[in-house]
Structure 1
Amino acid sequence: MKDQRASQKDAYEMILEAIDTGIYRPGDRLVESELAERFGVSRTPVREALQRLETQSMLSRDGRSLIVASLDHNQMADLYVVRTELEGLAARLAARHATPEEVRVLRDMVEDDRALIGHPDDMSRANRRFHKQIHLASHNKYLVQQLDLVHRSMALLASTSLAAEGRGEEAIKEHDLIVSAIEAGDGEAAHKALSDHISKAFITRLKIDADKER
C-alpha cells in the first residue's frame, strides 16, 4: 500500500513538473500509456494522477482525451489580480522576517540572472526560483501554499512574458528594486516593488496576446 501511494505521488509530481517546465504545454494531449512509459511507473498511478490534475483544473477534456488546460483572457486577468496581492504580501513579510542569508541568496540570484538576459526559457526558470525564494523568506507557510497554487496555474499560460523584447532586462532591474527594499527592511516599498513588477509583467503579456490577434 505504501509503495502504491508513493508511486501515485511520484506520478502526480512528475506530470506536474513536466507541465511547469514546459515539456507539456497548454493544448498538449496526455496519453496514459505514454506517460507511464516516460516516467517508468505503472498505468494505475498515472491514471490516478491524471484524475487528480483534472479535478484541479490543470487538465481539461477534449472529447475523450485529456489535454493540458489553458486560461482564457478573464481567467488570466483573475489570476494576475490574485498573484499581485499575494506576491506583494510575501515581499512585505520577507522584508520583516528574511534572514541575512536569505537576503544574500536573493541578491546573488539577481546578479547571476543578468547572464540569462536574451534567453527567455532559462530566465523564466530562474524567475520562478527567485519568486519562490521570496515566498519562503516570508516565513508564512499558509501564504507559501497559496502561492504554490497560483504559480502552478501560471504554467497554463502558453508563453513567458520574458520573451518580449527588452522585458528580461527590465525584469532584472525590478528584481533588484525588490531585493533592495527587502534588504532595507522596508515592507511597504517591497510590497510596492513586487506588485509593480507583476503588473508590468501582466501588461507585457496583454500586449503579446494583442499582437497575436493582429
Structure 2
Amino acid sequence: MSQAKANKDAYTLILEAIDGGLYRPGDRLVESELAERFGVSRTPIREALQRLETQSLLARDGRSLIVASLDHNQMAELYAVRTELEGLAARLAARHATEEEVQVLRDMVEEDEVLIKDPTALARANRRFHKMIHLASHNRFLVQQLDLVHRSMALMATTSLAAEGRGEVAMSEHAAIVEAIARRDEDAAYMALKDHISVAFVTRLKLDANQRLD
C-alpha cells in the first residue's frame, strides 16, 4: 500500500474511488475485494460501507451494496440546492477572497483551457476550480454543505462537460465568474455562478435523456 493510501481511511478511499469513476452507479461493492484493493482490513471497510449507505451514496440490491444512482427528481433536487449554495459561495468570495485567491482562480481558468478536449481531466479541474471558490468564501459551514453536495454529484454516470462544445462554454463561464469576484461585484458573481450551474444542469438533462433512449 502506498504512503498516500496509508494516510487515508477506508471511507475516504472508497469515496474517492466513486468520485474518480472507478466505481460507477450500479456497480456492486464487495467488502473482500475493497479490502484487497486498498490494502485495508475488512472491519474499517465494513464501517465505511455502512457510513456511505447512511449517506445514500450506496444502495441495497438484495443483499448486495451498489453505488447509488440518481433519478430525474433527485437530480433536479440536487441541482436546486447546488445552484443556490454555489451562488452564495461566489457572492461571499467576491466579498472575502484575498488577492492571492483571486490570482489562483485566474491561473486555473488559464491552465484549464488546454483540457477542453479531455472531459475526464476537465471534470477534475472543474471540481478543483469550484472548490477554490468555496474556500475563497471563507465560510466553513458553507464549504461543508457544498462538500456534501459534490459527493452526491459523483452518483451521476457522466459529466456534463462530456457534451459537445460544453468545455469551451464552461471555461468562458468560469472566466466571467472570476472577473466578477475580482471586481468585488457580489451580485454579478452570484448570478454568473448560478447561470453556470443552470446551463450545466440543462446539458446534463439532455445527456440523461439521450442515455435513456440508448
TM range (shorter): over 0.9
Q: Which residue in 2 is equivalent to 1:176?
A: 175
Q: What SS class does the counterpart of residue 23 from structure 1 fall into?
A: coil
Q: Which residue in 1 is equivalent to 2:29?
A: 30
Read off the aligned partner of 1:112 and give its amino acid letter: E
Q: CA deviation at 1:118?
A: 1.1
Q: CA deviation at 1:211?
A: 1.9
Calculate the aligned-residue CA RMSD, in Å: 1.2
Q: Which TM-score applies when normalising by structure 2?
A: 0.95
The one-character-per-residue Cα deviations of 1:26-68 (angstroms, maximum 9, x if unpaired) are 0011000000011111000000100010011000001111000
Structure 1: state its 5+ residue gaps.
1-6
Q: Which residue in 2 is equivalent to 1:94?
A: 93
The one-character-per-residue Cα deviations of 1:52-95 (angstroms, maximum 9, x if unpaired) are 10011000001111000000000000000000000000000000
Q: What SS class does the counterpart of residue 136 from structure 1 fall into?
A: helix
When the two structures are aligned, how many residues end up with a matched partner? 208
Instruction: Note if 1:70 corresponds to 2:33.
Output: no
Q: Which residue in 1 is equivalent to 2:81?
A: 82
Which whole-Å CA distance do the structure 1 matches of 2:85 and 2:58 have between them? 24
Structure 2: state its 5+ residue gaps.
1-5
Q: Which residue in 2 is equivalent to 1:3?
A: none
Read off the aligned partner of 1:177 and give its amino acid letter: A
Q: Which residue in 1 is equivalent to 2:3?
A: none
Instruction: Note if 1:166 corresponds to 2:177.
Output: no
Q: What SS class does the counterpart of residue 69 from structure 2 fall into?
A: coil
Percentage of identical aligned residues: 77
Which whole-Å CA distance do the structure 2 matches of 1:31 and 1:106 have between them? 39
Read off the aligned partner of 1:149 and give its amino acid letter: L
Q: CA deviation at 1:210?
A: 1.8
Q: What SS class does the counterpart of residue 191 from structure 2 fall into?
A: helix
Q: CA deviation at 1:212?
A: 2.4
Which whole-Å CA distance do the structure 2 matches of 1:82 and 1:90 have between them? 12
